[in-house]
């Protein structure tokens, strides 16, 4: 299974590196991807889908295949990928059910055609035909698209009775709630991190604990676990004594500003100094854009994964071959100075 996982990720990485893939390369990737994906582990599938969610171009067949996977795997792709056509989104919403439709509804940019299809999907769900009869699913949606999306959805919501008085009315109320969820993609809540890497409660507690005791060694191990990356990457992040790389990482993991400022001030004492009414750590966190942090950390993780695959290959060299040059610094040794400056 591990060998198949490696082959899948190598195939995805090679495709990622094609800035402008040709038709032949797209066709070749589509033919290779599906059987490799089916033979791989769940974790490898999630990693492959997360990587492909960032690609600007993906074969239509591969996009439909990924979007039709169980929602636990497909959610990131359906929510974030810019490579899926409207027609493919509509096909997935109509064939895969409510969970997939909800993931599609969370996309930042939905065309009027997709919004109309999502509304239609909810009207066609079992037991809702009679309740949906006052609604005209084929009614045209006015332009421009940015204004049409919330207006169209809200108009549908208004046509459904607000007070459930029977089993039929209860279904109508459930439909109201689901349609309200369509509006949420316009202004998603701050804690909505669907598809993004987030800390578990245990990981967050460990990071705060090791920062409190200024145990940089154990903190680096916990950070590597949170990133699902090598310890070398976490050490390199921590060796930036300005604290900016660690601040970027903590924001990308969804850590609160309060805990983030505490961690930064413990590991880098100069960031605990007051600068007016706030500490330097608080000021640093406020200057970083979450979306840029997420993109940057994902790029670090991909580079880290590629680097260690190369090193693993270099350890399997034939006699007489020269190993690849790799890490020349000693981050583990240098970590001892963090928190004691």
The answer to the question of residue 248 being in a domain is: yes
For residue 63, CA distances in Å to 39, 67, 120, 316 come to 18, 6, 22, 35
Q: What is the pLDDT of residue 92?
A: 92
Q: Is the pLDDT of residue 217 over 60?
A: yes
> Both tokens of residue 191?
């804690």
Q: What percent of the chain has pLDDT over 90?
A: 27
Provide the residue count of the chain.
Answer: 341
In the block, residue with structure tokens 């601040």: 247
Confidence category of residue 132, pLDDT binned at 50, 70, 90:
very low
What domain range includes position 304? Answer: 201-337
Residue 319 in domain: yes
Q: What DSSP letter does each residue of 237-285 carry, written as one string? A: HHT-TTSHHHHHHHHHTT--HHHHHHHHHHHSGGGGSEETTEEHHHHHH
Is 237 contained in some domain?
yes
Average per-residue pLDDT in the chain?
A: 76
Give domain status of residue 84, yes or no. no
Cα gap 47→60, rounded to integer Å: 20
Residue 146, pLDDT score? 38
191-195, 222-226, 336-340: least confidently modelled range = 191-195
Q: Is the pLDDT of residue 23 over 80?
A: yes
Instruction: Please give the share of the chain, as a percent, with pLDDT higher than 70.
Output: 67
Residues 6+ apart with CB under 8 A from 304: 229, 230, 232, 233
Give the Å distances, CA to CA, from 40 to 4, 9, 71, 229.
6, 10, 17, 19
CB 53 within 8 A of CB 66: no
Q: Say which DSSP state 20 is in.
A: S
At 268-326, the pLDDT tens digits run: 999 999 988 899 999 999 999 888 898 899 889 888 887 766 665 565 555 555 544 44
Task: Please name which of 88, 39, 42, 44 lies closest in space to residue 68, comparing C-alpha atoms.
Answer: 88
Of the candidates 248, 210, 204, the residue with the CA atom closest to the CA atom of residue 226: 204
Q: How far apart are CA 20 and CA 268, in angstroms?
A: 43
Quick one: pLDDT at residue 268?
95
- For the stretch 162-209, pLDDT in tens is 434 455 555 555 555 555 455 444 444 444 454 466 788 888 888 999
Q: What whole-number distance in Å separates Cα of residue 225 and Cα of residue 340?
A: 24
**Taking the C-alpha atoms of 76, 7, 321 and 330 in order, what is their torsion angle to the nearest 10 degrees?**
30
Task: Report pLDDT for 201.
Answer: 80
Four-residue CA torsion sign, 115, 116, 121, 122:
positive
Q: In whole angstroms, how far apart are CA 180 and each of 151, 172, 299, 341? A: 11, 12, 34, 52
In angstroms, the CA 312 to CA 7 distance is 14
Please check whether residue 251 lies inside any domain of the structure. yes
- Residues 133-151: tens digit of each pLDDT: 333 333 333 333 333 444 4
Among 106-110, 185-189, 263-267, 314-318, which range has the highest average pLDDT? 263-267
Task: Enter the DSSP assignment of 144.
Answer: P
Q: Half-sphere exposure (CA, 13 Å, Cβ side) for 130? A: 6
Of 90-99, 108-117, 247-256, 323-332, the one with minimum mean pLDDT is 323-332
Q: Number of structural domains, the chain?
A: 1
154 against 96, higher pLDDT: 96
**Contact by Cβ (8 Å): 12, 48:** yes
- How crowded is residue 168: how many other Cβ atoms within 10 Å of its Cβ? 13
> Is residue 339 over pLDDT 90?
no
Is 7 domain-assigned?
no
Residue 49: inside a domain, yes or no?
no
- Per the model's pLDDT, the better-predicted residue between 329 and 308 turns out to be 308
Q: Establish if 80 belongs to a structural domain.
A: no
Inter-residue contact 207 to 219 (CB < 8 Å): yes
């Amino acid at each position: 299974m591990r060998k198949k996982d490696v082959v899948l990720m190598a195939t995805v990485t090679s495709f990622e590196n094609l800035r402008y893939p040709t038709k032949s390369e797209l066709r070749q990737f589509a033919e290779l991807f599906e059987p490799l994906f089916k033979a791989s582990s769940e974790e490898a599938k999630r990693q492959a889908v997360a990587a492909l969610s960032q690609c600007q171009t993906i074969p239509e067949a591969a996009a439909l295949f990924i979007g039709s996977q169980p929602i636990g795997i497909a959610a990131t792709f359906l929510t974030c990928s810019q490579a899926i056509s409207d027609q493919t989104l509509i096909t997935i919403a109509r064939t895969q059910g409510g969970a997939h439709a909800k993931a599609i509804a969370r996309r930042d940019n939905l065309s009027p055609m997709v919004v109309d299809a999502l509304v239609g999907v909810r009207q066609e769900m079992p037991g809702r035909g009679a309740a949906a009869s006052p609604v005209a699913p084929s009614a045209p949606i006015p332009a421009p698209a940015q204004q049409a999306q919330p207006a169209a959805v809200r108009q549908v919501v208004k046509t459904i009775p607000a007070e459930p008085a029977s089993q039929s009315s209860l279904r109508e109320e459930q439909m109201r709630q689901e349609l309200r969820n369509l509006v949420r993609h316009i202004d998603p809540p701050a804690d909505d991190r669907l598809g993004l890497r987030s800390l578990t409660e245990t990981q967050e507690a460990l990071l705060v604990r090791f920062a409190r005791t200024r145990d940089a060694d154990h903190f680096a191990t916990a950070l590597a676990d949170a990133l699902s990356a090598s310890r070398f990457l976490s050490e390199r992040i921590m060796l930036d004594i300005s604290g900016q790389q660690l601040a970027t990482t903590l924001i990308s993991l969804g850590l609160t500003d309060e805990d983030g400022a505490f961690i930064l001030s413990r590991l880098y004492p100069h960031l605990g100094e007051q600068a007016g009414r706030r500490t330097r750590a608080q000021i640093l966190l406020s200057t970083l854009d979450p979306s840029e942090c997420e993109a940057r950390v994902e790029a670090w993780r991909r580079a880290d994964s590629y680097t260690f695959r190369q090193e693993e290959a270099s350890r399997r060299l034939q006699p007489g071959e020269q190993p690849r040059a790799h890490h020349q610094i000693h981050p583990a040794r240098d970590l001892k100075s963090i928190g004691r400056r």
